Chains A and B, each alone.
Chain A
Amino acid sequence: MSSTGAKENSGIFQPPTALDKRLDSGFVWLTRLFALGIAVLLLWIAFQVAKDALPAIQAFGLGFIFQSAWNPVTNQFGVLPQIYGTLVTAFIALLIAVPVGVGTAVILSENFLPLKVRTILVFLVELLAAIPSVVYGIWGIFVVIPLLRSTLGAWLYSWFGWFPLFSTPLAGPGILPASLVLAIMVLPIITAISRDALTSLPPDLRQASLGLGATRWETILQVLIPAAISGIVGGVMLALGRAMGETMAITMLIGNANTINTSLLAPGNTIASLLASQFAEASGLQVSALMYAALVLFILTLIVNIFADLIVQRVKRI
């Protein structure tokens, strides 16, 4: 370009003004503020809950975790039954959801079915995760509990009633129906993440195994699943975190009994469900005790989720 052209250009195009630059760096700072805000929010949640739990922490100390009493009248509070219920429901849910979820993931990642059918199945499993918890709750009350009472529950009690886990009849709400519905709710997480782990395996692994004369299922069970195991474990951990924090369906189905019952057919409670059922009517030290319970749940899920995230992230990086 000629020098006269350059001169004309300098008249038309203004260099960025100081204001432009200020605006620009201000924008970057603003976005940084919001990004850090996410981390701050996480810390704020922890701080806020811990601060309001302080009176209860001072009153009960660590004994809170090992006490079974929950008595707003005498101000005696302990969450052992709720911790027990949280762990037992989550454990039973995983016991069901892991085989079903991994099995489904295998069907969705292998070519048993045409791709179109698999795409629809993937979508259906996603939908399972999208249905609101409270809808599972109402469905559980009107469908699952009556069904269990007349079939599986009655059968377990009449045949295995001598066994502590099934020593009471299923009268209505209880640990078993809550766990079953919980299994349905965490299943999509396990399926989705296991499927990701299986489909991201190098295809030559499958060929190597088949090329050695392995059958399809020998390949799946002895090569593919072991190779994808850390991703699957990560998914199961995420599901565990979700199961421990799940609230509405549980609180509608578990019976909210603040005692430890060895029978799975008897009512129980979880921490999340305790919060849901008592918070609105609580006052005084009870609020603080509930905050303490919330803190316990927060820490439990935090640990599980951090582990899960580390595992899943490591798998993604490979």
Chain B
Amino acid sequence: MRSNPKTNPQTVKSTDSVFQVRNANIYYGSFLAVRDVVMDIPRNQITAFIGPSGCGKSTLLRCFNRLNDLIDSFRLEGAITYNGRNLYDSNIDPVEVRRRIGMVFQKANPFPKSIYDNIAFGPRLNRYKGDMDELVERSLRGAALWDEVKDKLRQSGLSLSGGQQQRLCIARAIAVQPEVILMDEPCSALDPISTLRVEDLLHELKQQYTIIIVTHNMQQASRVSDRTAFFNVQLSEKGGRTGYLVEYDNTESIFQSPKEESTREYVSGRFG
């Protein structure tokens, strides 16, 4: 197995990584969106993707649960393995991939259904045989939302505040008992207090789940993540913007002693 030269091998045992990304190139049609990504995502830790707009961090995130499949022109070269299995093998079922690898989106997107039905949606699809009421409660507790909504489970999920909606989406994601949760700027639309609540929640969730979080907010990355990947964007000759991985290390190292000059500039707020 090739190891990424910029990855500090002492903290990540290769057997304990959930995802292994090997020479991934992401295309939309003939346009190269992200190039040459090599990284391992450790189990039960929080990995943050940071970088300027258009650096492809969200695009890469959506490769982990094959949500990019929805875009007709999408194409991936290289390999992304999940527990040792290539996610893009022809015999892999993307539906099952997405059940095991949950996702929380930038904008809270509850279904226009009741709070209860929002949570029960995924388990019902998977023919959950256990006690649904209990699972709903457990998931809502897991997302630190239970106390606020326990008396109005039949109300529409859309009736909640923005921060509550986002935690509802987290509860909905953990109700299908995934192994990984992908978070695409989950706090960018939230006020500071709701943001702190979600960040607290991330620390709790880490014990059970592997989390990858894309964020614009460097303080957030330094607060919540164990490891941080910095992506940058490069203009190609044709004017296209191609993202690439600059540096990937423990969060402390990235923020305090980055190896690359551009990382230093970015985390110190000098560009981006």
Instruction: Indicate yes or no for A touching B, C-beta below 8 A.
Output: yes
A residues whose Cβ falls under 8 Å from a Cβ of B: 111, 114, 202, 204-215, 218, 222-223, 226-227
Known: A207-B105, A209-B121, A210-B70. A215 touches B112 (CB 8 A): no
- Contact A205/B111 with A212-B98, A215-B95 known, Cβ cut-off 8 Å: yes
Q: Contact check, B65 vs A211: say whether CB atoms are below 8 A apart.
A: yes
User: CB distance A210 to B125 under 8 Å?
Assistant: no
Q: Interface 1/0s, chain B 71-91, versus A by CB < 8 A?
A: 010000000000000000000
User: Are B102 and A212 in touch, CB under 8 angstroms?
Assistant: yes
With contacts A111-B72, A212-B173 taken as known, whether A207 is within 8 angstroms of B121 at the C-beta atoms is no
Task: Find out whether the CB atom of A209 lies under 8 angstroms from the CB atom of B107.
Answer: no
Are B95 and A208 neighbours in the complex by a CB distance under 8 Å?
A: no
Tell me the minimal C-beta distance from A191 to chain B in angstroms. 23
Q: How far is the CA of A205 from the CA of B112 in the complex (A)?
A: 9
Contact B67 A207 (CB under 8 A): yes
> Can you list 15 residue pairs at the A/B interface with Cβ under 8 Å?
A111-B72, A204-B105, A204-B109, A208-B103, A210-B67, A211-B103, A212-B99, A212-B102, A213-B95, A213-B100, A213-B122, A214-B122, A215-B125, A218-B125, A223-B121
- Given contacts A213-B95, A213-B96, A213-B125, is CB(A208)–CB(B109) below 8 Å? yes
Number of interchain pairs (Cβ within 8 Å): 71
Known: A207-B70, A212-B98, A223-B111. 7 other contacts (CB 8 A): A111-B70, A111-B72, A202-B109, A204-B107, A206-B70, A212-B121, A212-B172
Check if B113 is an interface residue, CB within 8 A of chain A: yes
- Find chain B residues with CB under 8 A from A211 CB: 65, 67, 98, 102-103, 105, 173
Given known contacts A212-B122, A213-B95, A214-B125, is B109 in contact with A205 (CB within 8 Å)? yes
A204 to B185, CA, bound (A): 14
Question: What range describes how many residues of B lie at the interface?
Answer: 20 to 34
B interface list, Cβ under 8 A from A: 65, 67, 70, 72, 95-100, 102-103, 105, 107, 109-113, 121-122, 125-126, 169, 172-173, 176
For B105, list chain A residues within 8 Å (CB).
204, 207-208, 211
Q: Say whether A214 contacts B112, CB under 8 Å.
A: no
Cα A205 to Cα B72 in complex, Å, equals 18
Chain A proximity of B112: nearest CB distance (Å): 5
List, in ascending order, chain B residues with CB within 8 A of A227's CB. 111-112
Query: What chain B residues lie within 8 Å of A215 (beta carbons)?
Result: 95, 125
The answer for the CA separation of A215 and B125 in the assembled complex, in Å, is: 9
Q: Which residues of A contact B96 (CB under 8 A)?
A: 213
A222's contact among B67, B97, B121, B176, by CB below 8 Å, is which? Answer: B121
Q: Identify which of A111, A206, A214 gathers the most chain B CB atoms within 10 Å of its CB.
A: A214
Closest 6 A-B residue pairs measured CB to CB? A213-B99, A211-B103, A204-B109, A212-B122, A208-B109, A213-B98
**Chain B residue with the shortest CB-CB distance to A211:** B103
- With a cutoff of 8 Å between Cβ atoms, the chain B residues found around residue A223 in the complex are 111, 121
State the Cβ distance, A115 to closest chain B Cβ, in Å. Answer: 9
> How far is it, in angstroms, between the C-alpha of A208 and the C-alpha of B122 when the chains are bound?
10
Contact A214 B95 (CB under 8 A): yes
Q: How far is the CA of A227 from the CA of B121 in the complex (A)?
A: 14
In the complex, A213 Cα to B172 Cα: how many Å?
Answer: 12
A212 to B174, CA, bound (A): 9
Q: Which residue of A lies closest to B108 (CB)?
A: A204
Q: How many angstroms between the C-alpha atoms of A214 and B102 in the bound complex?
A: 11
Inside 8 A of A205's CB, which chain B residues have their CB?
109, 111-112
Q: How far is the CA of A206 from the CA of B112 in the complex (A)?
A: 12
Contacts of B107 in A (CB 8 A): 204
